[in-house]
Structure 1
Amino acid sequence: MSAAVMASPSLAAQRGILGAVLLVAAWEGLARGLDLPSYVLPAVSDILASIWSNRMLLTQAAGYTLFEALAGYGVGCLIGIALAVVITMLPPVRSVMLPIATAINSVPVVGYSPLILLWFGIGVASKVVMVAMAVSFTVFLSTLAGFDRVDRRAVDLLRSFGAGRFKILFRLRLPTALPLMLTAMRVSTVRSVIVAIVTEMLGAYGGLGWIIYQAVLQIDFVQVWSAIFVASAISLTFFGLIGAIERRILFWT
């Protein structure tokens, strides 16, 4: 049984790699076979060559974007978890905070970009704020749903043994909420990179989004795809890292 469980992630990884290889081969064959122009679909080999020739620029831009995504991700996770804890510990606050949070999230994050850029400038701070906004609501809702999944009878049992609110939170609610919380944190990894790049395209001093914007102005579509490939690599690595941490923490699942 354990051997099958251990083998399944490896098998899934092999299938994922095989699928990626087939996709790249089909992409390359389609672009070369139909002689597609670069603005329609450049060949993968051309994109990889562009990445290599511009590796210093792309590495610097990737570091810039990754810092924004990680900082915003960390702040967003802390805010989301903290809000869920506050609402759980103070039930009367739920009727006030939940509608406000829902109203804020009902507008796409990009819609706040002009205001955030105006308030925080086009530097790193505005990107961190935007990423934090995008991540915090996802983590907040999932964590709150996890806290609410606790069996009421288990809560009453702990209270009968003299457990207070904080002991119930850390001994019962938090372990129950961990699967949903960590899933939201894993999903938010990709969202954090996307929001950072989109905000950079609207105004920045550097980053992959800035490179994409400049490449579009220069009609260099191979460079656009180069930045997209690098951004995808960052997102997949970030996603895989949080996923590995999730599996390590939730070993019983």
Structure 2
Amino acid sequence: MTHDPMTPSRHALARGLLGGGALFLIWEIAARGFDLPAYILPAVSEILLRFWTARDVLGGAAVYTLGEAFGGYLLGGAVGVALALCVTLVPVLRRVIVPAATAVNSVPIVAFSPLILLWFGMGAGSKVVMVAVAVSFTMFVSALAGFDRVDERSVNLMRSFGASRAAILWKLRLPTALPLILSGMRLSTVRSLIVAIVTEMLGAYGGLGWVIYQAVIVIDFVQVWAAIFVASAASLAFFGFVSFLERRLVFWR
């Protein structure tokens, strides 16, 4: 009898779909049964109908936001891993980089929005920078924890056989750190979209955050919920894609 490695994932997906369906059903019954106004809680059917009628606007906004989030995600991931690598290869830098990164991360990322918007403008560039700042610390901590897991005895052994720094990095440090790096990448997906949307609400020319802000101004709360649904779907898709890559690249787990 062959074992299907995808069965647990399929069961988890089925449970998630059933749970989501039950939640939406209860939501629909409550909204209709209590005749709740849209500004409190619109019915799911109203939200789905608005999603369909405004699909072009919401779809374009989702693509715009995902582009910003993905650009900042890649930039922040590269910066975070590079900083962790510098700290690992040059230990004296740990005393400078780690406190500085912790100090930046201790401030809510939204607090930097006015400055970033002032420096980089209202376009997509400012959102990419904001996402990169948010993602870089998560990736830095994850990558540094991964590099710190390397057994120094293994490093010394490879050096005794004449291995160069590049060879040790490629054959020992990166494979050891890869599981934690990919875990950090997975956790950063949701944060990247949240930061992009919040920054768009503070100032933008497009995107889901801009759609939500405009809908609030005209008191169109069904449109707000439709944009939230699209944002949730985009976040789940992004998270699922990175989780898929993690399972494929770190197959030994």
Same fold (TM over 0.5): yes
Determine if the alignment matches structure 1 residue 229 to structure 2 residue 229: yes
Gaps of 5+ in 1: none
Counterparts of 1:4 and 1:227, CA distance in 2: 37
Q: Letter of the aligned partner of 1:209 in structure 2?
A: G
Q: Name the counterpart of 1:245.
A: 245
Structure 2 residue 150 is matched with structure 1 residue 130: no
Residue 215 of structure 1 corresponds to 215
Q: Partners in 2 of 1:196 and 1:108 — Cα distance?
A: 14
**Which runs of no fewer than 5 residues in structure 2 stay unpaired?**
none
For 1:67, give the aligned amino acid: G
Equivalence for 2:186? 186
Q: Residue 62 and residue 6 in structure 1: after superposition, are their counterparts in 2 closer, same or farther (change >3 A)? A: closer
User: What do the CA deviations read for 1:6-39 (whole angstroms, capped 9, x no partner)?
Assistant: 3211111111111111111111111111111111
1:165 CA drift (Å): 2.1
Aligned length: 253
* CA–CA separation in structure 2 for the residues paired with 1:7 and 1:60: 35
Cα distance in 1 for residues equivalent to 2:11 and 2:217: 43
Give the distance between the partners of 2:180 and 2:40, measured in 1 at CA.
Answer: 40
What SS does the corresponding residue of 1:3 show, helix, strand or coil? coil
Counterpart of 2:140 in structure 1 is 140
How much does 1:76 deviate? 0.7
Counterpart in the other structure of 1:71:
71
Over aligned residue pairs, what C-alpha RMSD do you find?
Answer: 1.2
CA distance in 2 between counterparts of 1:4 and 1:56 reads 39
Determine the structure 2 residue equivalent to 1:81.
81
Under a length normalisation based on structure 2, what TM-score does the superposition of the two structures give? Answer: 0.97
**Equivalent-residue separation in structure 2 for 1:149 and 1:141 (angstroms):** 12
For the pair 1:33 / 2:1, whether they are aligned, the reply is no
Compared with structure 1, are the counterparts of its residues 2 and 195 closer, same or farther at alpha carbon in structure 2 (3 Å cutoff)?
Answer: farther
Residue by residue over 1:33-66, the C-alpha shift from the partner in whole angstroms, topping out at 9 and shown as x without a partner, is 1111111111000000001111111111111111
Amino acid at match of 1:113: S
> Residue deviations 1:171-229, cap 9 Å, x none?
11110111110011011111111100000000001111011011111111100000000
Residue deviations 1:142-172, cap 9 Å, x none?
A: 0000000111221222122111222111111
1:42, 1:187 → 2: CA distance? 30
Identity, % of aligned positions: 63
Q: CA deviation at 1:131?
A: 0.4
Deviations 1:112-136 (A, max 9, x none): 0010001111111100000000111
Where do 1:52-131 residues align within 5 Å? 52-131=52-131
Q: TM-score, normalised by structure 1?
A: 0.97
Distance 1:51 1:164 in 2: 56
Separation of aligned partners in 2, 1:61 and 1:131: 17
| Aligned mates of 1:39, 1:236 — CA distance in 2 | 25
Amino acid at match of 1:147: F
Amino acid at match of 2:75: V
Deviation per CA, 1:89-110: give whole Å up to 9, x if none: 1111111111111111110111
Secondary structure of the corresponding residue to residue 129 of structure 1: helix
In structure 2, C-alpha distance between the alignment counterparts of 1:6 and 1:37, rounded to whole Å: 43
2-side partners of 1:168 and 1:85: how far apart?
Answer: 12
